[in-house]
Chain A
Amino acid sequence: VTANQLAKAISSNVRGAVVSHAKGIDVPTIVVRAEKLLDVCRYLRDEQGKNFLSAVSAVDFLGYGEDVSGYFGTERGRDLNATGSWGSPATAQAPATRFCLTYHLAHVDADGSPPDRVRLQVFADDGEPVPSVVEIWPTADWHEREQYDLMGIVFTGHPNLKRLIMPSDWDGHPLRKDYPIGGEPVQFTDAV
């Protein structure tokens, strides 16, 4: 199924859900509105056979495209390795919203059919809640807890949204781009 067909099928079943779609480097990529996410997921699971959720991944786009995470010898990262100098396309464009959640869906069956992957994406700003898909794919439970813990995404409707990887009293969300690297305050001081 191409991205085009899939986007059409989704929009004809869940009106106004699809924001954009792309062929993608590897798999069809569909961006949907957060408020329609559950309907789209239910449609994809029940009608398109995407019964398997590989993972929920969050990406923080803070500062994306401003300075390419860069060469270590320079202040802002960049000048010795200027954009386009390797024949790559010009500067990356940061999306308007800060966070992006990616759901990799697949079809798992006993009959040996290919997984037929689809990438479903939702954009959300800092603090903007995203509906939890645990009721659709129970495996999302820990995946969403991980993204809540490390990226600070809040999932509404999650049965047990608490930290999973970091200690329960940890401050901040370490995978955010503005989380300090090096020189962070010593935690656990009261544990002695």
Chain B
Amino acid sequence: MSTGTDHDLDRPQAPVVPLGTPCRIPPGAPSNVIPPPGEDLITVNFGPNHPSTHGVLRLIVTLDGEVVVGLDADIGYVHTGFEKNFEQKTYWKGIPYAPRMDYLGFFANELAYVGAVEKLIGIQVPPRAQWLRTLFAELNRIHSHLIYLGTSGIELGAMSLFFYCTRERDSVLDLFEMVTGVRMHDRYPQFGGVAEDVPRGFYAECKRFCREMPKHIDSYLDLTAENPIWKGRLKGIGTIPAETAIAMGLTGPNLRASGVPYDLRRNDPYLAYDQLDFDVVSAAEGDCYARYLCRTREMYESVRIIEQCLEGLPPGPVMADDRKYVLPPRDELQTSMESLIHHFKLVTEGFRTPEGQVYCAVESPRGEFGCYLVADGGPKPWRVHFRAPSFVSLQATAMCSANRYIADMIAVVGSLDGVMGEADR
């Protein structure tokens, strides 16, 4: 039995792929496919509260029988005005807002915002803090990919995978809780370093996690990779050629699955990634199955990076020693009047930055997460704009689902792995 191909339809694989040299344009707007005039078409509202839309995503689908011939994605249902909020908060108070956008890849969001401010004020982050940030960024990547695997499995009808994934997700969150005190949205990276050093016992726990996680990833792959139903639902579905993926601005696993091994951790190293040994996972096919395989295999690499971070964690402080921007250590507040005043001033008035604009991009679990920050010299940002990879990848939904069965659209939305909190901000 040839999986995938028996799924194909006789109709032409229409307006989707005609991209050649560096980047040309698919005919019509890529974010909405306009149905051709014809009878027997019905328009169906799909979502925003449908269990298989991977979040609060509304799709207005035009159907010819069971085949999607027109699709318009409607987002914004969880728009909470994050960017406006940042303008009303001092730089410090912006940190807890950042992780609440992409609530699965929360750590990358914090890194982008904190990184942008650090670039602006030109503060040097000590190496130990860099390595710790790298470690948690990778733990967070595993967390996000686990949720992707579990939820996209549920959308395809594979219930049990979700339970396995949440089991391991819990051990990732236990590690986060051990160090930061909370399981998600941790405010751990701060301007100039991280909030505090890892506690005693973390090393052994994290080591144990690294030992066990590859076995778990093996078992996910055993469950799914050769499963005929899984392959039938994903192989050859929602194919994005490499040039189209670049032209559509896709990044992260979505781009790497299309045969472009572009990864900011490798192409534009930040934190400690230039000192670590890891492979950039990519695949050539560009279909839902390739995206699934990329994400799942990336977890192996993340475990490798975490192991190296544990081994190579340099000694030293975890916070820069620049009292103009950095909160005084907690214990000094009990004994030093100056520290107390300084703490009070930093928390109430915030610090001032030079005037200017910066863009800081990190490789979040979903791709290039960028923070564009404009500062007027005051204690609050003048404007913060986030480049959200989910926002960009959801644009490709219409392109990937055109002329496929509606059931394939579910697989496509799942495999693009959008987080609506981030897309809507």
Total residues of chain B contacting the partner, CB 8 A: 68
B376 touches A65 (CB 8 A): yes
Tell me whether A4 is interfacial, beta carbon within 8 Å: no
Choice from A69, A88, A91, A142 contacting B395 with Cβ under 8 Å: A142
CB-nearest residue of chain A relative to B386?
A55
Give A49 to B21 CA distance when docked, in angstroms: 11
Task: Give a binary string over B370-394; 1 marks a CB under 8 Å from any A CB, 0 the rest.
Answer: 1010101111111101010001101
B359 touches A88 (CB 8 A): no
Min C-beta distance of B266 to chain A, whole Å: 6
CB-nearest residue of chain B relative to A67?
B378
Choice from A24, A70, A117, A175 contacting B378 with Cβ under 8 Å: A70
Give A190 to B382 CA distance when docked, in angstroms: 35
Q: Which residues of A contact B376 (CB under 8 A)?
A: 64-65, 68-69, 92
Min C-beta distance of B424 to chain A, whole Å: 6
Min C-beta distance of B94 to chain A, whole Å: 12
Min C-beta distance of B351 to chain A, whole Å: 7
B368 touches A25 (CB 8 A): no
**How would you classify the secondary structure of chain A's contact residues: helix, strand, loop or mixed?**
loop
Q: Which residues of B contact A119 (CB under 8 A)?
A: 357, 359
Give A57 to B88 CA distance when docked, in angstroms: 18
Tell me whether A11 is interfacial, beta carbon within 8 Å: no
Min C-beta distance of B238 to chain A, whole Å: 17
B372 touches A55 (CB 8 A): yes
A142 touches B359 (CB 8 A): no
Tell me whether B26 is interfacial, beta carbon within 8 Å: yes
Min C-beta distance of B3 to chain A, whole Å: 28
A25 touches B76 (CB 8 A): no
Choice from B22, B119, B359, B392 contacting A45 with Cβ under 8 Å: B22
Task: Give a binary string over B32-48; 1 marks a CB under 8 Å from any A CB, 0 the rest.
Answer: 10000000000000000
A104 touches B370 (CB 8 A): yes
Interface set, chain A 7-50, CB cutoff 8 A to B: 24-27, 29, 45-46, 49
3 A-B pairs closest in CB distance: A68-B378, A139-B249, A55-B387
Binding site for B on A (CB under 8 A): 24-27, 29, 45-46, 49, 51-55, 57-60, 64-65, 68-72, 77, 80-81, 83, 85-86, 88-89, 91-92, 102, 104, 108-110, 112-115, 117, 119, 134-139, 141-142, 145-146, 150, 159-160, 164-167, 174-175, 181
Assuming A55-B385, A135-B25, A165-B75, what are 19 further A-B pairs, CB within 8 angstroms? A46-B22, A54-B249, A57-B385, A59-B374, A81-B378, A81-B379, A88-B354, A110-B259, A110-B262, A115-B267, A115-B268, A119-B359, A138-B249, A139-B248, A139-B395, A141-B29, A141-B31, A142-B395, A160-B31
